[in-house]
Structure 1
Amino acid sequence: MLVLLVIFIATAPVVMQGVTVDLPKAEAETMNEDQKTPIIATIDRAGQYFVSIDASSTKMPDLNAVGNFVAQELSKDPSRPVVVQGDAQVPYDAVIQLMNALKNSGVDSVGLVTDPL
């Protein structure tokens, strides 16, 4: 158990690296520790899109690019989870449009990233 804890502590900062957003706060379930590292689609305060795969974060020019990039990654591993990380200051519609672009690119299920209350 201690080894697993150390591994998760060491890898957690790597997963959240790259794009800084002020996440909304909500009570939510945490991801299972045995799940694969998720693909993170992010929209920041300025409305810019990013996709984070493992430790790397790539800026995307628009929603179509986000959808195509995520679809390409999912073709390599379809069981990988996809989550949306939207800044708390971003309009609700922008987050919904990002989720819609992911759904249109073939993502079956999209999770939302929040900070705990």
Structure 2
Amino acid sequence: MIRRRRNRRPLMAEINVVPYIDVMLVLLVIFMVTAPLITTGVKVDLPRVATGPLTGSQTEAVVISIDRAGDYYLDIGEDRGQPTSEEMLYDRLRVVLGYRPGTPVLVRGDAGVNYGRVVRAMSIAQQAGAAEIGLITMPPHDPENP
């Protein structure tokens, strides 16, 4: 009987991680480029008042923003950053508060907006079923501690 010579290489037991590193670096670049574009918000000049910090339940609140022109913005859903009407604000708050009862509602009103618009937003939130409604402010400017 003829013996065959085995010239096979031994199996390599190491995982080649180079392709995984390449994919990770590409994803990192994509996230670094798109992250600033995802950040949406409404430019609001908040009034400066000395207040206490938010409690744990208020950090998961729904925020209604009112810009200087008096337009309402809601920080939920795919239309975040888009102005909304009073009727749409009511409908969306009603859905959110129906799904998560007891969720606090916070109002970010620009310092130059008509006070009636802020009160109207609070009234809409109350009619939609909000149990807690609060106002968001900025701390007063301290010249010694900027």
RMSD across aligned C-alpha pairs, in angstroms? 2.2
Choose between structure 1 and 2: higher strand proportion: 1
Distance 1:48 1:102, change over 3 A: same
Alignment partner, residue 139 of structure 2 = 116
User: 4+ residue stretches of structure 1 with deviation over 6 A?
Assistant: none
Query: Is the 8 Å Cα contact of residues 21 and 44 (structure 1) preserved in structure 2?
Result: yes
Q: Secondary structure at the match of 1:42?
A: strand
Q: Which runs of 5+ in 2 are unaligned?
A: 1-38, 141-146
Q: Secondary structure at the match of 1:40?
A: strand
The residue type equivalent to 1:38 in the other structure is: A
Query: Is the 8 Å Cα contact of residues 23 and 87 (structure 1) preserved in structure 2?
Result: yes
Matches within 5 A, 1:23-34: 23-32=46-55, 34=56
The residue type equivalent to 1:52 in the other structure is: D
Q: Which runs of 5+ in 1 are unaligned?
A: 1-15
- Which protein, 1 or 2, shows the higher relative CO under an 8 Å CA cutoff with sep ≥ 6? 1
Query: Is the 8 Å Cα contact of residues 37 and 54 (structure 1) preserved in structure 2?
Result: no
| Mean CA deviation greater in 97-106 or 52-61 | 52-61
Per-residue deviation at 1:107? 1.0
Distance 1:54 1:44, change over 3 A: same
Per-residue deviation at 1:45? 0.7
How much identity, in percent, do the aligned residues show? 30
Larger radius of gyration: 2
Query: Is the 8 Å Cα contact of residues 65 and 107 (structure 2) preserved in structure 1?
Result: yes
Structure 2 length as normaliser, TM-score?
0.62
Q: Secondary structure at the match of 1:50?
A: strand
